[in-house]
Amino acid sequence: MAMIEQLVKLEKRYEELEQLLGKQEVVADQETCNRYAKELSDLSEPVMLFRQYKNLSKQADDLEHVFKEKHDKEFLELAVAEVASLKIQKSGLEEKLKVLLAGEDKDMGIDLIVEIRQGTGGGEAALFAADLYRMYSQYAAAKGWQIELMSGSPTELGGFKEVVFSVKGKDAYKRLKFESGVHRVQRVPETEAQGRIHTSTATVAVLAEPKEVDLVVEQKDLRIDTYRSSGPGGQHMQKTDSAVRITHIPTGLVVACQDERSQLKNKTKAMRILGARLLDIRREAEIRKASQERKSQIGSGDRSEKIRTYNFPDRRVTDHRINFTSHRLEAILDGDLDELSDALIKAAEEKKHE
């Protein structure tokens, strides 16, 4: 039974995490400890239900054996009634477990890394990238998610050429995974003297952050360079080779981080970003192979696909993949994304059943 096999794997991972969290070296590393503790918490509900299910199954099996050994009519009647009750309880647990393991619940406990890059439109595109970063940051705050800036390339006008950040929290991946693609803004830039509407774009990539069991990166496949950070930071930034650039030799992927003063912290962040990008490449390859899964996607999933337009003159936001329009532009840019994410999640569910 596929569900039972999946639950056995989850329980095994749960027990591994319990052992890892009992090790002194893990407890001493706060970041690793927190990551393991969160994963343990996410697995707790399905594992506890599975253990209840196994206990009920054992009780039912034991009573079935009693049928063969006992011949007391009154006792057998009680045993038959008890077995029937246990089977009803098992059936209820099966339904709960199916709900937990099916559909969107496969995203349970997934942390993510979001990359936003300016697209066409020069300085206005960089400002729009900053607007999107603010939008997601405020959405995360409203949801109680933890957000961490990983890397940023700010512009003099307050925009971003690129900004990378992580998001951790319940349902974060479920609600943000459809944000990947090209976001388009139509508005009058502050620098536009003639009051003409310009169209600019920014690209968003939402990457699942791999757990240790998802992806192994061999050290022999990496080239790690250190260099002096550029930009603001004072004398320390000028004198210390704290910036880190990691090249994944087999794929040619390059990740650089310089925002932290510590070389070790920059290396840790760069490795997390690299891992997320490598996992994304693997998942994209799997999707291309599985044509049926491709049909269940909202849109093509291509990063070059224009997925949404933010139109300031009409105070309108339109998601082109599902023909959804909201006239709450200001609220959405202030982080009120539930209306959009609910519509996208619902459309994805409907696609699966077509």
pLDDT per position as a tens digit, 54-82: 888 888 888 777 766 666 677 777 777 88
Q: Are residues 115 and 91 in the same domain?
A: no
Q: Is residue 139 part of a domain?
A: yes
Residue 176, CA distances (Å) to 113, 114, 252 in order: 10, 9, 27
Tell me, yes or no, whether 169 and 246 share the same domain.
no
Same-domain pairing of 132 and 52 = no
Q: Residue ranges of the alpha helices (H) in 113-240? A: 123-143, 172-176, 234-239
Long-range contacts of 275-278 (CB under 8 A, 24+ apart): 275/209, 275/210, 275/215, 275/217, 276/112, 276/113, 276/207, 276/208, 276/209, 276/210, 277/207, 277/253, 278/210, 278/215, 278/217, 278/248, 278/251, 278/253
- Give the range of the structural domain holding residue 277, as residue numbers without chain letter: 219-288
Q: How many CB atoms lie within 10 A of CB 339?
A: 14
**Is the alpha carbon torsion for 242, 248, 252, 253 positive or negative?**
negative
| Same domain membership, residue 336 and residue 202 | yes
Distances (CA, A) of 133 to 180, 259, 316, 335: 13, 17, 19, 10
Q: Across-strand partners of 152?
A: 163
Q: How many CB atoms lie within 10 A of CB 139?
A: 24
Strands (E), the chain: 112-118, 146-154, 160-168, 181-187, 198-208, 222-227, 243-248, 253-257, 306-311, 316-319, 324-326
Q: Please indicate, yes or no, whether residues 196 and 304 belong to a single structural domain of this protein.
A: yes
Instruction: Please indicate, yes or no, whether residues 234 and 184 belong to a single structural domain of this protein.
Output: no
Other beta carbons less than 10 A from residue 110's beta carbon: 18
- pLDDT digit string, tens, across residues 330-341: 999 999 999 999
More confident residue, 182 or 218: 182
Q: Domain end: 101, 123, 150, which one?
A: 101
86 is a domain residue = yes
d(CA 55, CA 61): 10
Please check whether residues 207 and 348 belong to one and the same domain: yes
* Mean pLDDT lowest among 145-149, 225-229, 282-286, 319-323: 282-286
Closest by Cα among 89, 82, 85 to 52:
89
Co-location of 10 and 86 in the same domain: yes
Lowest-confidence segment of 62-66, 156-160, 182-186, 301-305 by average pLDDT: 301-305
- Domain assignment present for residue 309? The answer is yes
For residues 30 and 24, give the distance between their C-alpha atoms in angstroms, rounded to a whole number: 11
How far apart (Å, rounded) are the C-alpha atoms in residues 54 and 18?
Answer: 20
Is the same domain home to 141 and 53? Answer: no
Binning pLDDT at 50, 70 and 90, where does residue 98 land? confident
Is 106 part of any domain? no
Which residue do the tokens 């994410």 mark? 341
Report angle CA 343, 349, 351 to the nearest 5 degrees. Answer: 100
Boundary of a domain, candidates 101, 122, 154: 101
Same domain? For 313 and 187 the reply is yes
pLDDT at residue 229 greater than cutoff 90:
no
Looking at residue 195, what is its pLDDT? 78
> Stretch 185-194: mean pLDDT, rounded?
80
Verify that 234 and 336 share a domain, yes or no. Answer: no
- CA-closest candidate to residue 185, choices 341, 332, 339, 308: 308
On whether residue 8 sits in a domain, the answer given is: yes
Instruction: Indicate the range of 153-157, 212-216, 277-281 predicted with least confidence.
Output: 212-216
Tell me how many domains the chain contains: 3
DSSP label at residue 159:
-
Measured from the Cβ of residue 251, the count of other Cβ atoms closer than 10 Å reads 12
Residue 239 sits in a domain whose CATH number is 3.30.160.20
Q: What is the CATH number of the domain that holds 149?
A: 3.30.70.1660
Domain boundary among 236, 267, 288: 288
Neighbours of 41 (CB within 10 A): 12
pLDDT band at 108 (very low <50, low <70, confident <90, very high): low
Structure token digits, residue 201:
């774009």
Residue 238 maps to a domain: yes
Q: How confident is the model at residue 102 (pLDDT cuts 50, 70, 90)?
A: low
Average pLDDT (300-311) is 77
Average pLDDT over residues 96-114: 71
Residue 25's Cα: distance from chain center in Å? 27
Cβ 226 vs Cβ 244: under 8 Å? yes
DSSP classification of residue 313 = T
Whether residue 197 is found in the same domain as residue 226: no
**Helix-, strand-, coil-residue percentages of the chain, each rounded to 5:** 55, 20, 25
In a domain, 42, yes or no: yes
